[in-house]
Structures are given as C-alpha cells and as structure tokens.
A and B are shown apart, each in its own frame.
Chain A
Amino acid sequence: MRSTWAIFKKELRAYFLSPVAYAVAGVFLLLSGYFFSVIMLTTRTAEMRAAFGNMSIVLIFVVPLLTMRLLAEEVRQGTAELLLTCPLRSTHIILGKYLASLVLYLAMLAMTGIYPWVLLRFGNPDPGPIISGYLGIFLLGASFLAVGLFASSVTDSNIVAAMVAFGLLLLLWVLGWAGEALGGRLGDVLTSLALFERLNDFRKGIIDSSNCLHYLSYIVGFLFLAGLGLERRRWG
C-alpha cells in the first residue's frame, strides 16, 4: 500500500507539473462550458441532462491524452526498468497511477461545479438528477481512464497509446447503437457491453446499483488487463 502511495504521489506531481494536464483540462472545461451555456440559453431550463451527455462525448477525446503517458512513457524513458526491478507488485504500480489520474479527473469535474452553482443562483433546479448525473459522469470517466491506462500499457509510444485508447472508447460509444439496431442475442451482448447507455439512468436521477456495478467491473477488468500489459515481458 505504501508503494502505491509513493507511485500515486509521483504521478500526481508529474500531472500538475506538466503542461499537458493543464491543456487537456482547459479544453475539457472550455468545451463542456460551451455546451452547458448554449444548452441553457437555448432551452432555458435549469437542468444538466444534456450537458452531461455532451460532457461524456468530450471525455472520449480528453481521457486518452490524460492516460497516454502513464505507462508508455515509463517504458520509453527506461524507468520501467527501475519500477520492475524494485520490490513492487505491478498491482501497486497500476493502482498508484490509476488513482492519480482519477484525482486529476475529479479536479476537472470539481471545476465544472460552477454550472450547477449558476443554475442554483439564477434558477430552481432539481438537485437529484444533477447529483446522480455527476456520479454517473464520474463513473463513466473512471471507466474511460481504466481503458486509457490499459492502452498505455501495451506500447512504449504515447501517440500509439492515445490512438488505441481513442479507438477503444469510440468503439464502445458506437457499440450501443449497433446493439439497439441489431436486436436479438447479439444485440443483447453488445448492449450489455455498452458504456454510454448506462449513463442515461444517472442523468434522469436514477442510481441503479447494476449500472454502478457495470462501470466498476469495467474499471477492474481494464486495470487487470493493464497489469498484464505492464508485465508483458514476462510472457514474451
């Protein structure tokens, strides 16, 4: 646990010292702020349902850039050789890095807190769907980060890692549509894999434990795969 903490601290410091994190967070806030304002001004309703939907799409572009260097960079600059020859389990490395990216993501979400503040200040929004919506978008982003970390574990190039993560997330996005269109057994399988459809309940104000569990199993699954990716030398 102590080693996880050490990796976590190092990674978080690296985030806050690197311009990439600021640029990515800035773009995320710019786009989600734009969507929030435009939707609010056009619909004139004090709610965030549509804003959460748009935020989830922005995350597809943003998350790969946050996670791309987490493991790929270690291999590229040779520091993986340090981490993998120290008395550390790869679980410690993966967890420390994942938690650091999660904290950065939480900080980004916290900064969007200004949207509900504006709604509360000038309108009379129903707080339920906003709170559940935030939980949903947090879980969705947390799943994305796990996918991104996995993508970073299979390569030593940041660009390739970002591209793989981007491709996987985009695929998960369109998977849901195919599921609905196909129907039948195959459709069910595809729908059950989908990540975005699970957000709908949260946006409506419903916190369903099965949806939470769905996201959690995505996170655990992809973190496990990332561990395998990190140790790929062991099988090669």
Chain B
Amino acid sequence: MIVAVDLTKYYGRTRGVEGLNFRVEAGEVVGFLGPNAAGKTTTMRLITGYMPPTRGSVRVCGYDALEEDLEAKGCLGYLPEHPPLYPDMTVKAYLEFVAEIKGLRGSARRSALEKVVESVGLAPVWGRLCANISRGFRQRVGLAQALLGDPPVLILDEPTSGLDPRQIIEVRRLIKSLAGKHTVIISSHILPEVSMVCTRVMIMDRGHVVAVDKPEELARRLTGSRDITLKVKGDRSVARRVLESIPGVSEVLDGPEGRLVVRSQREVDVREEIFRSLARADLPLLEMVPRDLTLEDVFLRLTTDEEGVEAHA
C-alpha cells in the first residue's frame, strides 16, 4: 500500500529524514515511534504529499505522492498533529466542507457523514463551533475528518495526544477496529500505545529508522537476558552465595530496597531452582518478580547513546 524508497527530506541544511526505505502492506497498523524531532511528522507529511521529498519517492496505493498527487491524496485520510479545524465553523459545517472537498456528493456524502459521526461519537457537539469544543472533541473531529469517505490509507499523527485516559482508550479501540479494513500509520511517543494497537513498529531516531519489527519481537531481539527481582529474609551475603551457585544464573546484583536481582540467560527458567535452593538454605523467599525488557527499554536502548544505555541497564 505504501512504499518508500530512499525517502529523504532536508529543511535547508537541517535533516528531516534521510534514506528511509519501508513498505506497509494492506491492512497493517504500523506505528512510528521515536522521541521528538525524530522525523515522524516529516515522514507523514511526505507520504501525504504535503511536502515533496528532497530525494527519493513514496508511493501510496500505487500512485507516486508527487507525480500523481491527486490520485494518491484521494486514497488518504490524514490527521495532522494539530487537528486542522476552522474555529469559526460548526462541527457540522466543517465536516460537510471536508466531505465536499474530498469529492463526496449527494447521498454518498450524507451516509459518509452519518457513518463517521456514529463511529467517532460526535453527536454531542454536532452543532457547536469548533472554537468552543474541548480538546478531546477537537481531536475526534480531526479523526472524523480523516475517516470521511473511507479512504484505504489512514495517516494519524499522534491521534491520542491531548485526550483524557477514557478517550485514549476509545480512540485506541477505534484504531484497532480499523485494522484489516484500512492500512493505518500512527505516530506516537507513548510506547504501550504502540505495542497495544500496532502490528508492526518502526523506531525512528534523528531522521533514521533504527529498528522495524513486531512489538514483542523487538523486545525479544534486544534482550539476551532476563532479570528476576527477589526479596529474601535473612543474611544477604549468604543468600547471594546460594543464588550464585544455581546453574544458569549469570549474575546477582543489588536491587532496590535491599532486594536482589538475579540475571539469567533467557532460555533457562531458574525460578523453580531459586525457590528450592533458598528453601534448603532456610532463607524464606518473600517476593519474586520476573521482569521482561519492555518496549520502553528497547526504545531507550535504541535511541540513547551508549553511556545512556549503561545507566539504564
């Protein structure tokens, strides 16, 4: 559905993105993840044809975003970072206007409007001025605008920013329900969100893609070890000696608040042996918490310099 080849954008001499190559297949939900200024918005603006690339190309539904821009734009729905609303228009007038410039007429327009009002839940603000509705509703009107006309490709730039927790859950559910029928690209710097709604994640940093994979694969690939945090009653040095003697345990570290952190190879499950060994040494085990590397850790590892990673590890 979306194919980017050597996609590069410079703003003057400042790099926006450089040498992006990626494909997004039909029905996928792909998340662009990265810190601010990583190039997420730039990439989206290149896909939507808002700006031309400095070098390279991007094709949407088989149309070149620059050469066949009207055709490419025709199969896109785009929610920019700030919902593009006219403050002096009512929600109704605004969506009717967008439907019209998207080429929807007559009964097709009416049914398209009814559909988005239903799916995004705009009935309460239908007749209000865009200037007077809450941040959450502004975001939803922006989303409704992108969904109008059922475009096969949806580009959503931080769709949940500015929403309250309940609305965030609603919007995530909505995006999830779009998967399969639509090809969706969302950007976010909220990691759980991406791992929740996306089938694939592209981690971006300073204009480059640093990793692409399924969310759980990314976490697995980047971690060779697994940490287990323990709280043990009794002499810590004895406990440490006992734990170190367990086969498969590579290291025992000091954890927070007097806890011990046992690091083991990923393939070996040492939890059972920890329990037995401590019991044999008469050291009561009060707490055992296994901890997998989350996407958050992966993200930090990929987008932080080496020293930073050490500090976090």
Chain B, interface size: which category? 20 to 34
Q: Looking at the complex, which of A75-83, A132-140, A150-158 is the stretch in contact with chain B?
A: A75-83
Q: How many A-B residue pairs have CB under 8 A?
A: 74
Interface residues of B in 23-42 (CB under 8 A from A): none
Q: Across the interface, do A86 and B73 meet the contact criterion of CB distance under 8 Å? A: yes
Contact of B84 among A18, A79, A89, A236 (CB under 8 A): A79
Residues of A with C-beta under 8 A to B89: 10, 13-14
Q: Report if A44 contacts B (CB, 8 A).
A: no
Instruction: Return chain B residues, CB-CB under 8 Å to A87.
Output: 70-71, 73-74, 101-103
- Is there a chain A Cβ closer than 8 Å to B49's Cβ? yes
Task: Answer yes or no: A233 CB below 8 A from chain B CBs.
Answer: yes
Q: Does A217 lie at the interface of the complex (its beta carbon under 8 Å from any beta carbon of B)? A: no
B82 at the interface (CB under 8 A from A): yes
For B88, what are the chain A residues with a Cβ–Cβ distance below 8 Å? 14, 17-18
Interface SS of A by simple majority:
helix
CA distance A236 to B83 in the complex (A): 24
- B51 at interface by CB-CB < 8 Å: yes
Per-residue CB contact flags for chain B residues 84-105 toward chain A (1 = under 8 Å, else 0) read 1111110001000110111101
Q: Please, which residues of chain A bring their CB within 8 A of the CB of B50?
A: 81, 84-85, 233
Q: Indicate which residue in B83, B87, B100 contacts A2 across the interface (CB closer than 8 Å).
A: B100
Q: Which of B82, B93, B101, B145 contacts A88 (CB 8 A)?
A: B101
Indicate if A121 sits at the interface (CB-CB under 8 A): no
Shortest distance in angstroms between B76's beta carbon and chain A's nearest beta carbon? 7
Given contacts A2-B105, A13-B93, A77-B87, contact A85 B48 (CB under 8 A): yes
Report the nearest A residue to B78, measured CB to CB: A85
Docked pose: A78 CA to B83 CA in angstroms: 8
Q: Is A66 an interface position by the 8 A CB rule?
A: no
B215: interface (CB < 8 Å): no
In the assembled complex, A48 has its CB within 8 A of some CB on chain B: no
* Contact between chains at B101 and A83 (CB < 8 Å): yes
User: Which secondary structure dominates chain B's binding surface?
Assistant: loop
A82 touches B145 (CB 8 A): yes
Decide if B80 is an interface residue (CB 8 Å cutoff). Answer: yes
A37 in contact (CB, < 8 A): no
A9 to chain B, nearest CB (A): 8
Q: Which residues of A contact B105 (CB under 8 A)?
A: 2
**B202 CB to nearest A CB, Å:** 21
B49 engages A79 (CB within 8 Å):
no
Residues of A within 8 A of B121 (CB): none
A3-B100, A233-B50, A234-B51 given as contacts; is B82 within 8 A of A78 (CB)? yes
Residue of B nearest to A4 (CB): B101
A38 interface hit (Cβ, 8 Å): no
Q: Is A6 an interface residue (CB 8 A)?
A: yes
Could you say which residues of chain A place their CB within 8 Å of the CB of B74?
Answer: 87
User: Can you name the residue of chain B whose Cβ is closest to the Cβ of A79?
Assistant: B84
Q: At the interface, yes or no: B248 with Cβ under 8 Å from chain A?
A: no
CB-based contact B80/A86 at 8 Å: no
CB neighbors of B among A1-55 (8 A) = 2-3, 6-7, 9-10, 13-14, 17-18
| B52 at the A interface (CB under 8 A) | yes
Q: How far is the CB of A93 from chain B (nearest CB, A)?
A: 9
**Which residue of A7, A17, A82 contacts B80 across the interface (Cβ within 8 Å)?**
A82
Partner of A3, one of B80, B84, B101: B101
Which residues of the other chain, B, contact A86 by a CB distance below 8 angstroms? 73, 98, 101-102
A150 to B216, alpha carbons, bound, how many Å?
Answer: 52
- Give chain B nearest CB distance to A68 CB in angstroms: 16
User: How close is B41's CB to chain A, nearest CB, in angstroms?
Assistant: 10
Nearest CB in chain A: distance from B110 CB, A: 15
Please indicate the chain A residues that have their CB under 8 angstroms from the CB of B45 in the complex. 81
Q: Report the bound CA distance from A58 to B84 in whole Å.
A: 35
Q: Which residues of B contact A84 (CB under 8 A)?
A: 49-50
Q: Among B11, B52, B98, point to the contact of A82 (Cβ < 8 A).
A: B98
Question: B-contacting residues of A (Cβ < 8 Å)?
Answer: 2-3, 6-7, 9-10, 13-14, 17-18, 77-89, 233-234, 236
Q: Which 5 A/B pairs are nearest by Cβ-Cβ distance? A: A82-B84, A6-B100, A87-B74, A85-B48, A79-B84
Which positions in B face A, CB cutoff 8 Å? 11, 45, 48-52, 70-71, 73-74, 76, 78, 80, 82-89, 93, 97-98, 100-103, 105, 145
Known: A14-B88, A18-B88, A82-B78. 9 other contacts (CB 8 A): A7-B101, A13-B89, A77-B87, A84-B49, A85-B50, A88-B101, A233-B50, A233-B52, A236-B51
Q: Mind listing 21 A-B residue pairs with CB under 8 Å?
A: A2-B100, A2-B103, A3-B101, A3-B103, A6-B97, A10-B97, A13-B93, A14-B88, A14-B89, A77-B84, A78-B83, A81-B45, A81-B84, A82-B78, A82-B84, A85-B49, A85-B73, A86-B73, A86-B101, A233-B52, A234-B51
